[in-house]
Structure 1
Amino acid sequence: MTYVIIQDELVHRQDATISFDDRGYYFGDGIYEVIPVYNGRPFALNEHFQRFLESAQKIDMPLAAPVDKIKSLACSLIEQNNLDNGYVYIQMTRGVAERNHLYERDLTSFLTGFTKEMTFPRDKHNGISLYATEDIRWLRCDIKTLNLLGNIMAKRKAADHNCEEALQHRGDVVTEGSSSNIFMVKNKNIYTHPANNFILNGITRQVVISLAGDLKYNVIEEAFSLDDIEQADEVFITSTSAEVTPVSKIQGTIESSYLVGPVAKTLQEAFYRTTNL
């Protein structure tokens, strides 16, 4: 029997209902987190829920329950569903109300969650392909909202060109993937876009930056151009599902090929050790 979270309790999935008038359905008015689970244990749980709290604050949305309660529900769901490896998805919308662009501040936020088994892609040592395309999203990409239309259009375009992920850019400036953060290596220095409103500050991104520092790599958080990444020594992406995945080719706006280099390999191995998987 599979359980899900509905507000402050676990219920059988087939018994779960969501209102037609939920603002998440009408407007994408909500936030979410995807927390990886390794060997039955949630990874970077506190960091994920700190971002969850910050996202709620940025869109003026009250929590459906205290953060510690939501954490406890997530952990209980993992245990109840006997999840070994995969992820737990937590979503919160502004709540139920008659369709109106103007939201009221007295609504009760609506919390849901589910788990999914997943095999993490640790066979991608030869690298993946990215499709470079213009970043058409709004200007608050730092908020992990349900409004992902720009991201999914970029992902679809990448897949239509036989690429596993997109590389988004605003003009000449590389931002991030459709569901990942992008890193490049030049002269043993690691570059990634700063964590401002143009990108989502990925939790895996944060872990990898910390690991890179422990390994004495110089990490430079500054914007870089398409020309820069075209001339990079290595490129890799990070995300909950991709972990640390090297890039072997970019096509689209630019065309470039890369070898899977020592920096990506070293960070892969370091990340794997943190998960104990």
Structure 2
Amino acid sequence: MAIYPIMMSQSKFIHRDSLNYPYEERGLQFGDGIYEVIRIYNGEYYLLKEHVDRLFRSAEAIKLILPFTKKKLISLLQTLIEKNKMTVDGKVYLQITRGSSPREHEFPVETPVNTYAYTQNLPRKHHLLENGVSTITQRDIRWENCYIKSLNLLPNVLAKQEAKEQGCYEAILHKNGLITECSSANVYLVKSNKIYTFPATKRILHGCVRMRVKKFTADLNIPFIEEGFNLEDIPAADELFLSSTTSEIMPIIQVDGKQIGDGKPGKISKQLQEAYEKDAKLISSTIN
């Protein structure tokens, strides 16, 4: 299947094999840009408006002036999946940087932004969703503005790699023992039929699926308490789970080699998975 990166600042679509990436590019040299990953199910976007809204919030936070309206961007993203004939499960990666200019720390003047987006097939992780995943804990060494979905992800990359090297799916991050989120997901603890998670401050990414989890809990009459929990709370948890665009609502059954609950996805995690599938209008499910 042909993949067409989208150069929206130039208002045209280009085949990926024809793309020349400039070496003096502020995203490449400074991480001076923002991004979004948007889920596609059966050729249709899920939570597209929420992702576009967050992209614009991130742009405002770094003083990046976007060359299009939200409505125009949504139209371009729809065209992207049409050109790629996306009819299966996948994702779009969208990145916008402050443009290409000689390397100086100050913002360039009258330099157009660079916008890139491409589609990629991404099947659902049925086995992991059904059985849960193992995680590790890591100290959160990121900056204080994690609510901005910026390109500066080296601490996240290092934490995720450490999890991989230990045979785990994710790294749960903490600051002085207070759990914030994972390297690429929000994280939640269930105790006595209540859900606890770090509040949506500048210290975490305000996940689009996180916002949906909050809605699902309201619909299911499950208390959703936006308070951070601590490392020492994890062993006594009834359930743990994480959420993200690519992981959906993923049960956690082990942390640092220690079993959570009975070592199986819990009741509330399953309820939220079912709510997610219904909300995303997924055709079929292997989750019981």
Measured against the shorter chain, the TM-score band is over 0.9
> 1:156 pairs with 144, 158, 161, which one?
161
TM-score, length basis structure 2: 0.92
Which residue of structure 2 aligns with residue 3 of structure 1? 4
Give per-residue Cα distances to partners, 1:85-118, cap 9 Å, x unaligned: 1111111000111111122353211111000001
State the AA in 1 paired with 2:276.
F
The answer to whether the aligner puts 1:59 opposite 2:59 as a matched pair is no
Return the letter of the residue paired with 1:5: I
- Name the counterpart of 1:219: 224
Shift of residue 67 of structure 1?
Answer: 2.0
User: Which of 147, 152, 169 in structure 2 is aligned with 1:147?
Assistant: 152
1:248 to 1:82, Cα distance in 2 relative to 1, 3 A: same
Is 1:122 equivalent to 2:139 in the alignment? no
Tell me the residue number matched to 2:277.
272
Partners of 2:159 and 2:104 in 1: CA distance? 29
The alignment partner of 2:14 has SS state of strand
Give distance in 2, aligned partners of 1:127 and 1:258.
12
Instruction: Please list, as runs of the form range in 1=range in 2, the aligned pairs for 1:199-210 lying within 5 A after superposition.
Output: 199-210=204-215
CA shift for structure 1 position 256: 4.6
Task: Tell me the equivalent position of 1:15.
Answer: 18
CA distance in 1, matches of 2:71, 2:102: 30
Q: Which residue in 1 is equivalent to 2:114?
A: 110
User: What code does the residue aligned with 1:167 have?
Assistant: I
Picking from 86, 91, 98, the partner of 1:94 is 98
Does the 8 A contact of 2:238 with 2:260 survive in 1?
no
Partner SS state of residue 5, structure 2: strand
Structure 2 stretches lacking a partner, 5+ long = 283-288
TM, length-normalised to structure 1:
0.96
State which of 137, 140, 163 in structure 2 corresponds to 1:135: 140
Overall identity of the aligned pairs, in % = 39
Partners of 1:249 and 1:122 in 2: how far apart? 18
Partner Cα separation in structure 1 for residue 109 and residue 209 of structure 2: 33
8 A contact 2:197–2:225 mirrored in 1:
yes
Match of 1:187 among 178, 192, 197: 192
Kept in 1, the 8 Å contact 2:52–2:74? The answer is yes
Between 4-13 and 111-120, the greater mean CA deviation after superposition: 4-13
Query: Residue 92 of structure 1 contacts residue 112 of structure 1 at CA under 8 Å; is this kept in 2?
Result: yes
- Deviation string 1:38-83 (CA, Å, 9 cap, x unpaired) is 1111111111000000000000000032222121111111111111
3-state SS of paired residue (2:124): coil
The aligned length equals 275
Query: What is the one-letter code of the residue matched to 1:17?
Result: N
What amino acid is the match of 1:33?
A: E
Q: After TM superposition, list the pairs within 5 Å mapping 1:73-88 onto structure 2.
A: 73-83=76-86, 84-88=88-92
For the 8 Å contact 1:92–1:111, the answer to whether it is kept is yes
Rounded Cα–Cα distance in structure 2 between residues aligned with 1:137 and 1:100? 24
CA separation in 1, counterparts of 2:239 and 2:260? 9
Instruction: Output the CA distance in 1 between the equivalents of 2:17 and 2:232.
Output: 51
Distance 1:159 1:88 in 2: 24
Whole-Å separation in 2 of the counterparts to 1:64 and 1:29: 16
Query: CA separation in 2, counterparts of 1:258 and 1:31?
Result: 38
8 Å Cα contact 1:64-1:110 kept in structure 2: no
- State how far apart, in whole Å, the 1-side matches of 2:83 and 2:184 are: 28
Uncovered stretches (5+) of structure 1, i.e. residues with no partner: none
Contact 1:247–1:258 under 8 Å retained in 2? no
Contact map agreement 1:6 1:16 (CA 8 A) in 2: no
How far residue 15 of structure 1 moved from its aligned partner, in angstroms, is 1.6
